[in-house]
Chains A and B, each alone.
Chain A
Amino acid sequence: MDWFYPFLQAVLNGMLTGSLYALIAMGMALIFGVMRIVNFAHGAFLMLGMYATWVMFEHAHINPYIGFIPTGVLLFIIGAAVYAGLVRHVPVQAEFMIILLTLGVSLICVDSILLIFGADYHQLNFPLLGKNLRLGSQISLNAPWVISFGIALLAAAGLYMFVMRTMFGRAARAIAQNPYSAPLMGINIHRVQAVTFGLGAAAAGIAGALLLPVFYLYPDVGHLFNLKSFLMVVMGGMGSIEGAAAAGLVLGVVESLTSLYWGNEWALVVDFVIFILVLSFKPSGIFGSQRA
């Protein structure tokens, strides 16, 4: 049984990290699914979420586990505003324009933060960070990771229910299926897309808020997650939010196990090998067959 506890510990650690990956990827998948936009500003939204949470903690002593709620609202507003002010004016067919536009938004966000807060890194320090939950004698889980995991799962489930079970979600899915006939059915396409973009940004922002206590922040931190979330969106089936969530969890666990058995330097390699395998043998993604 010597091998079992390290294995279990690594799987649990991987799930904790994976839940945050999942939430980040779901936001990107939602935007991609409804609008066919690869949002390169996603990492920047995550970074904005981290900064918003950090400012609230530093200046108003709002615990990040409460602060993630106003952060989500703020990022929703920013996301919806970016859509209404910029994205909706670019024709849908001009994919390259959209990529440039979101890249531009990302640069503006990063450089504004640089201008306001400087390049220095910051991290949170509060007593909870040192608390570990012990399960038996062998397994220990860091409390802030566990709380982040719980909130990330709730947020992900909420997002899923919202898209699958509400009228709004139905409208969003209708646009995803056919953006030309959806407005003929009486759907206000711009409003739905603005809300979708906002929700995607909010998911990234909340993930940022939850990541903050266990990580650190600096203006460029978002780029660490941009590529990875795109990876998960593709693996999950280009726009399937449940697929992206599953891909996030899988990557988290795979990275953790790779670190344990082969070494951390291989983690990214294994990520990409899985990515290529999925693309080669199931190009529609893990959950791809369910969606057009």
Chain B
Amino acid sequence: MRPRTSAVLITVVLLSIAVLIGCQNKGGGNTVKIGVITSLTGSQAAFGQAHKNGYTIALEELNAKGGINGKKVDLDFYDDQSKPDQAVQGVNKLVDQDHVPIILGSYSSESTRAIVPVVTAKQVPLIIPTAVADNIMATGSPWIFRLCAGSGDYAKATLDFLKNNGNPKNLAIVYESTNFGQSNFRSMSEAATAGGMNIVDTEAYQASSPDYKSLLQRVKGKNPDVVYFASYLLDATTLMRQSEQANFNPKYYTSAGTGFAVADFPTEKGAGKYANFTYSVAQWLPSASWAGSKEFDEKFFLLTKTHPSFHALEAYIALMVAAEAMKKNMTSPAAIRDEVRKTDMPTTPFGPIKFDAKGQNAHPTLVTQVQDQHYKVVWPPDAAEAKPIYPPPTWSQRKKSGEL
């Protein structure tokens, strides 16, 4: 009796698996599915939302122009809830169940680093729009392509700017203890030491704490000329507000973009006036001179009533690059991968797109300063729209003058 029961059971299981697989393959037809992983919920939802808006705009443009070779494009979103383990689940789901031939994402360096081995094992190309940690590209996976500049470029641009604007000597690095923060910390400390700066303090912190006052007090005690933050939005806001409470007045508040570079940061939804005078690296601004930047800004404004940060545009470009490759050959993920590698798009709103042997797009990095609650490019000189203001007035001067 026993062997028979188990034989029946096994048959039933195998049959149902076969039926399931059969059902999914029917999806083909007249649409092309592209997988997207991003952080639609959780602490990085602000960025995931920016991604989603960028993808939406790209999708509408693509489908209005006839999709990919006449086939309608369909985006298959997976929300990683701002958690790396969920991003990995996302790859499994998108590849094994939905059979997408290419994936775009994720948002954070943490989640993106986690999915690189998985896409490599599953042999599906991954286009990375925003993750700046350099250990992602250091994996050497032949399946990944990154549009944005990395943490090494961030450190280099910031140091170039400082060297030519007052040449300060003492640097403190404050970073969240995640892949994004640590990667920026490593890049900055290597580049700064090589550039002859003294690193007087390095502080890792637990993200999303309500209280950083003691941390800032500690940094203040080391008396740095420059502080370099690597933080996401919510912490960037808390850090700037509490810098005032701790009366911490370095000559330069610099940062590795991200929380300090997102559109909400200098508005009342973020740090508001406390964001003034902070520097950030940026990959793109609506005022960038690349063709199509203005149109993207307008479309984004129509959709959301706000102006886009570079995260939204990077998502937009990721989908465009994927579509461009798939137009040429989409017979298999490997064929798409080879076409992505050959990408040569000389004019996009994000500048020219071309990947090197490692899959990295060479993208210039800008340095911006928040002036009167707006981002202004202050470096490099050929792109600058405003002069940097340094040293900024101290917090007590800013209170007295009525600015705060």
Question: Which residue numbers of A lie inside 8 Å of B, CB to CB?
Answer: 6, 9-10, 13-14, 16-17, 20, 114, 119-123, 125, 129-130, 132, 140, 142, 211, 214-216, 218-220, 224, 255-257, 259-261, 263-265, 267-268
Among B215, B241, B268, which residue has its beta carbon within 8 angstroms of that of A259? Answer: B215
Whether the pair A120, B45 counts as a contact (CB closer than 8 A) is yes
A263→B218 CA distance, assembly (Å): 8
Residue pair B46, A265 in contact (C-beta under 8 Å): no
Contact A121 B41 (CB under 8 A): no
A263→B214 CA distance, assembly (Å): 9
- The answer on a CB contact under 8 Å between A256 and B214 is yes
**Extra contacts besides A120-B46, A218-B45 (10): CB < 8 Å:** A9-B213, A10-B214, A20-B210, A119-B41, A119-B45, A121-B46, A140-B247, A216-B238, A220-B41, A260-B214
Q: Roughly how many angstroms separate A218 CA and B206 CA in the complex, as a whole number?
A: 18
A132–B43 CB distance below 8 A: no
CB of A14 within 8 A of CB of B244, answer no
Interchain CA distance A21-B218 in the complex, whole Å = 23
B187 contacts the other chain (CB 8 A) = no
- Chain B residues contacting A114 (CB-CB under 8 Å) are 41
How many residue pairs, one in A and one in B, have C-beta atoms under 8 Å apart?
101
Chain B residues with CB under 8 A of A123: 237, 269
| Cβ of B381 under 8 Å from chain A | no
Known: A142-B245, A263-B204, A265-B205. A119 touches B211 (CB 8 A): no
Q: Are A216 and B234 in contact (CB under 8 A)?
A: yes
Instruction: Out of A13, A17, A119, A256, name the residue touching B48 (CB < 8 Å).
Output: A119
Q: Taking CB as reference atom, which chain A residue is nearest B218? A: A260
Complex: A6 Cα to B216 Cα, angstroms? 11
B385-404 toward A: CB 8 Å interface, digit per residue (1/0)? 00000000000000100001
B352 part of interface (Cβ distance < 8 Å): no
Determine the chain B residues whose CB is within 8 A of the CB of A9 once the complex forms.
213-214, 217
Known: A119-B48, A219-B41, A265-B206. A129 touches B214 (CB 8 A): no
What CA separation (Å) do A260 and B216 show in the bound complex? 8
Whose C-beta in chain B lies nearest to the C-beta of A267? B206
Indicate whether B177 reaches chain A with its CB closer than 8 angstroms: yes
Tell which of B41, B204, B210, B233 touches A215, judged by Cβ atoms closer than 8 Å.
Answer: B210
Q: Among the listed A6, A216, A218, which residue makes an inter-chain contact with B217, where contact means beta carbons less than 8 Å apart?
A: A6
Residue of B nearest to A143 (CB): B245
Decide: A264 and B203 in contact? CB cutoff 8 A: yes
Would you mind naming 5 contact pairs between A and B with Cβ atoms under 8 Å apart? A119-B48, A121-B43, A256-B211, A257-B214, A263-B215
For the complex of A and B, list the 6 residue pairs with the smallest distance between their C-beta atoms, beginning with the closest.
A259-B214, A119-B45, A264-B205, A265-B204, A119-B41, A260-B214
Q: How close is B266's CB to chain A, nearest CB, in angstroms? A: 13
On chain B, the residues within 8 Å of A256 by CB distance are 211, 213-214
Enumerate chain B residues within 8 angstroms of A264, measured Cβ to Cβ.
Answer: 203-206, 209, 212, 214-215
For A125, the chain B residues whose CB sits under 8 A away are: 268, 272
* A63 → chain B closest CB, angstroms: 17
- With CB as the reference atom, state the residue of chain A lying closest to B245: A142
Q: Which residues of B contact A20 (CB under 8 A)?
A: 210
Query: Contacts of B40 on A, CB cut-off 8 Å?
Result: 119
Looking at A14, A123, A214, A268, the one whose CB has the most chain B CB atoms below 10 A away is A123
Residues in B lying within 8 Å of A, measured CB to CB: 40-43, 45-46, 48-49, 81, 177, 203-206, 208-215, 217-218, 221, 233-234, 237-238, 241-242, 244-247, 268-269, 272, 399, 404
Are B45 and A260 in contact (CB-based, < 8 A)? no
- Whether A13 lies near B268 (C-beta < 8 A) is no
Please give the distance in Å from B330's CB to the nearest CB on chain A.
32
Question: What CA separation (Å) do A76 and B209 show in the bound complex?
Answer: 27
Q: How far is the CB of A218 from chain B (nearest CB, A)?
A: 6
- Shortest B308–chain A CB gap in Å is 16
Q: Considering residues B41, B48, B404, which has the most beta carbons from chain A within 10 angstroms of its beta carbon?
A: B41
Query: Which of chain A's residues has its CB closest to B83's CB?
Result: A220
Partner of B213 from the list A13, A215, A261 (CB cut-off 8 Å) is A13
The chain A residue sitting closest to B221, CB to CB, is: A6
Q: In the bound complex, what is the Cα–Cα distance between A255 and B209 (angstroms)?
A: 11
Min CB–CB distance A176 → chain B (angstroms): 31
Cα–Cα, bound, A129→B210 (Å): 14
On chain B, the residues within 8 Å of A214 by CB distance are 210
Contact status A119-B42, CB under 8 Å? yes
In the complex, A264→B204 CA distance in Å?
Answer: 6
Q: A120-B45, A121-B45, A123-B269 are in contact. Are A130 and B244 (CB under 8 A)?
A: yes
A216 neighbours in B (Cβ, 8 Å): 234, 237-238
Q: How far, in angstroms, from A255 to B206 measured CA to CA in the complex? A: 11
Which chain A residue shows the least CB distance to B212?
Answer: A264
> Which residues of the other chain, A, contact B41 by a CB distance below 8 angstroms?
114, 119, 219-220
Give A129 to B404 CA distance when docked, in angstroms: 11
- For B40, B49, B218, the residue with the greatest tally of chain A CB atoms inside 10 Å of its CB is B218
What is the chain B residue whose CB lies nearest that of A258? B214
Q: How far is the CA of A132 from the CA of B398 in the complex (A)?
A: 14
User: Does the CB pair B210–A211 fall under 8 Å?
Assistant: yes
Please give, as numbers and ranges, the residues of chain B lying within 8 Å of A255 by CB-CB distance.
Answer: 211, 214
Contact present for B177 and A13 (CB under 8 Å): no
Cα distance, A121 to B244, chains bound together (Å): 22
The answer to whether B268 touches A121, judged by C-beta atoms less than 8 angstroms apart, is: no
Q: Give CA–CA (A14, B42) in the complex, Å.
A: 27
Closest to B204 in A: A265
> With a CB–CB cut-off of 8 A, which chain A residues contact B205?
259, 263-265
Determine how close the nearest CB of chain B comes to the CB of A114; give it in whole angstroms: 6
CA distance A219 to B43 in the complex (A): 9
| Cα of A211 to Cα of B215 in the assembled complex, Å | 19
A256 to B204, CA, bound (A): 14
Residue of B with least CB distance to A11: B214
